[in-house]
Structure 1
């Protein structure tokens, strides 16, 4: 189903356009359409963004990180915000973690919160 949607959303890029930039443009275009931009506007904006990337960082080999640390920190913050003092087991089950992992996440969250409060006192 998702693959069919991607195929239906294919934007047109010039022939022989660099493959990586076209892939990035396709992703950007799909997201713009998902956010309510018309297909024509999304096409134009996606190509313009791809061209900006090409001219600003083109010619340099780039590594695109997966952002696992960012993703995990967002997940951990979400767990900490949902923690109510008694729901270690439920959070562990919801996030496919052990209770000990959830306890450690909560412990780190409390330490960050405490450090932020103490910094504001200074």
Structure 2
């Protein structure tokens, strides 16, 4: 069995399926990429940084950028700040730390009222029960 090599990967880059990730990455790193729109450069750099942080192949950044351009290119897009996602992640963190007798401690830690902690626990408990039990109707 041959070992998988990212340099052999080709993708459908704007309809050109014979181009390797290495080739496109070299172009992206070249000074010519400075002509790219600022948003594209920022997204590419952000993807590359996140992939590197997580120990993933940074060449995937160009494939992700390509996908975003193909899906959303030419569309004016409002991108929310992610507060809902942040709240859900905080709720998950509260739920994971909840022991039954530490509501006051969680309230202080997350700077939320005890009622808020109780609501989060109830919501997360309901979600967990729903995930474990199939809907009968």
Q: TM-score, normalised by structure 2?
A: 0.64
Please report how far the alpha carbon of residue 113 of structure 1 lies from its aligned counterpart in structure 2 after TM superposition.
4.0
Instruction: State the partner residue of 2:29.
Output: 12
Match of 2:125 among 94, 100, 110: 110
Q: SS of 1:86's equivalent?
A: coil
**Deviation per CA, 1:36-92, whole angstroms, max 9, x where unpaired?**
25xxx62x4323332332233211111112222222122112212321111011111
Instruction: State the partner residue of 1:33.
Output: 52
Unaligned runs of 5+ in 1: 1-10
Q: 1:29 to 1:107 in 2, by over 3 A?
A: same
Instruction: State the partner residue of 2:134.
Output: 120
Aligned length: 107
Instruction: State the partner residue of 1:65.
Output: 80
Instruction: State the partner residue of 2:100.
Output: 85
Q: CA RMSD in A?
A: 2.5
Unaligned runs of 5+ in 2: 1-27
Quick check: 22-31 or 98-107, which moved more?
Answer: 98-107
Note if contact 1:80-1:105 (Cα within 8 Å) is conserved in structure 2.
yes
Comparing both structures, which one devotes a greater share of its residues to helix? 1
Q: TM-score, normalised by structure 1?
A: 0.70
